[in-house]
Amino acid sequence: QVQLVESGGGLVQAGGSLSLSCAASGTRFSIDGMGWYRQAPGKQRELVAAVTRLGRTRYPDSMKGRFTISRDITRNTVYLQMNSLRPEDTAVYYCNAQVDRMDFWGKGTLVTVSS
């Protein structure tokens, strides 16, 4: 069973930055893709950014330019740098990992952006 532990959430003013990290453990298989999703109150969970094992990144158009995903393969850790944050970025951010064609999720970390 893969465990994902997110950290780095918190309260930030609009225009500020936050960095999230997610460490994966508990698997003897290679971790394929990793990514970040978010879910705001009353909304569906949406993709923020994803990165393959080879380092190829993917962002929805709405996320391009302010969010940067990176990954440390040796530490099974994925990061999300968030800049120029807006109140509408307020959400619970979830880490995702794909292992052996299965999806695993962290418990989420809350990011609150005040206006």
pLDDT tens digits for range 67-81: 999 999 999 999 999
pLDDT of 41 reads: 92
Is the pLDDT score of 19 beyond 90?
yes
Each residue of 80-106: pLDDT tens digit?
A: 999 999 999 999 999 999 998 899 999
Question: How does residue 1 score in pLDDT terms, banded at 50, 70 and 90?
Answer: confident
- The per-residue pLDDT for 69 is 98
| Cβ neighbours for 23, distance < 8 A, ≥ 6 positions apart | 4, 5, 7, 75, 76, 77
Q: How are beta strands 10-13 and 109-114 bridged, if at all?
A: parallel
| CA atoms of 24 and 71, how far apart (whole Å) | 11
Q: What is the CA radius of gyration of the chain?
A: 13
